[in-house]
Structure 1
Amino acid sequence: MKFLFTFLSFLSLFSFILANPVPQGQGSASNQEPRTCKITADGARHRKCPEVNDTKCPATGSYAKGTMIKFMCYVVGETVKGNPYWDKTSKGEYVSETLVEESCRSKLPEC
């Protein structure tokens, strides 16, 4: 009798697990599709890391105002004009959120 009760309890639990799978999250930034966002300032520099120190974190180039860039995720980095967020491009470079359209970060996962 104990065996039957244990077996039925296990079967019931197993059925519940199959019927109610754990929901999948948004996933990591590495498997997200890039989001295209607009650069809002002319000469917006993209950098190797989320800092403005040219010695420690040199700029690798710049974008013209209005350029549409593919971003993968955002990180917290050096604060620029009161904003600590930096958006990471699909090429692995960082652009200060102060130079990207306001709604961009809301479309991106955290890196």
Structure 2
Amino acid sequence: MVKRFIQIGLILTIAALFSTPPVQAQPESYNHPELKWYTIETPHFFIHFHNGTKRTAFAIAKIAENVYGPVTKLYRHKPDGKVHFIVRDTDDYSNGAAYYYENKIEIWATPMDFDL
């Protein structure tokens, strides 16, 4: 009897796992064709940004170059090639992520191009 319950439970668990569709919290594949993208190149970075985030992108470029020397000296490591920053404002929140295996940093930033 117990063996039968275990078998039924296992079958139901497997069925539940294979019957649910995959879910993503943030689909990164969503394309925004309305955005025009630009790139700033500095000695150590590429900063990719779209219309409306220019001021943030230039601030990132300045700060990143200022800290590049001290950080690479502290860790005794320089990245292979230039690091890519991606600045975007396509959502109603700020967030970010660093991908060490791609030399990429992604920042969701609210544009600072407005008068206070």
Could you say whether these structures have the same fold, taking a TM-score greater than 0.5 normalized by the shorter chain as the test? no
The structure with higher relative contact order (CA 8 Å, sep 6+) is 1
Structure with greater strand percent: 1
* Short-chain TM bin: 0.3 to 0.5
Structure with greater helix percent: 2
